[in-house]
Amino acid sequence: MLNIVFLDRASLPVAVRTPELPHHWQAFDATAPEQLLERAQEADVLISNKVVLDAASIAALPRLKHIAVAATGVNNIDLAAAQARGITVSHIRGYANSTVPEHALMLMLALMRNLPAYQRDLAQGLWQQSPYFCHFGAPVRDLHGRELLIIGGGSLGQGTARLARAFGMQVRFAARKGAQPQGEDYVGFEAGLRAADIVSLHCPLNADTRGLIGATELALMKPDAVLINTARGGLVDEVALLAALRAGRLAGAGFDVLHEEPPRQGNPLLEAGLANLIVTPHIGWASFEAMSGLAEQLIANIEAWAQGQPRNLVTPG
């Protein structure tokens, strides 16, 4: 009988069925680092959404055979350490192909049409004071005809591309830094940043992408461009981003992710008070439909592994 431990059950606020196989199930709403080893000591299978399983933790769990990540991103797992121990790691694929692109498009629309600035103006009574039937404030721009650069050509990037094309946008995908573009829709990384009206991030966070967008990359972008990040906070230098926004070197930014989550120590983006900066609390993935699909896939991954037919496995790289 398998011992299965869900380390952060409250991070998935939808129904989660238990696997259809002999097992003992234990779930904790959340697990602090100092609680991990005690709770996971007898586990054959660990389920983690965001609880960190580093090399030291993995080495201290002799019974552990499989880690089921309740998310697509696996930057909280030391994959090399797991592989060295023969521990398989599965993750979730394709569950957010509609919800994350919709969130990205929402941020694009709100920023291009300056929705936060107009909400601020209304709160200050500026429409009531207007000599016209409308209030002309911040510039309003269409998505139609704009060039969108997508960094990350996986299912979320492709889903965002489909929605953007429906709005009449010209979509390009960025090649990796330093690589030659391959394919008709791909452009060089730096050339793409220079040409884009909107840049949307949909790539994983790893050693190659950490700090992908910093002061140098922001300086390449048009001063009237918009940056969207629904991927991972560590992709962008938040201090450099804020400096660019305040200096007028970037027209707007929409972020669903931050470098540290939750931001218990505060974050400069949350404290900026800028009308051209929208921050949402990592909810782009969290529609009921998407979370329900994730929950089903999570358990199906465990069942497949237990039956000797593992799927959705992740390897170091």
Q: Which residues are catalytic?
A: 232, 261, 282
Token pair of 298 as six digits: 């999570």
Cα–Cα distance list, 21 to 63, 154, 177 (Å): 18, 33, 46
Counting Cα atoms < 13 Å in the Cβ hemisphere of 229 gives 25
Is residue 270 within 8 A of residue 244, CB to CB? The reply is: no
* Phi (first) and psi of residue 48, to 5 degrees: -135, 135
Burial (CB count within 10 angstroms: exposed 0-12, middle 13-18, buried 19+), residue 307: exposed
The DSSP bridge partners found for residue 227 are 199, 253
Spatial CA neighbour of 87 closest among 70, 120, 62: 62
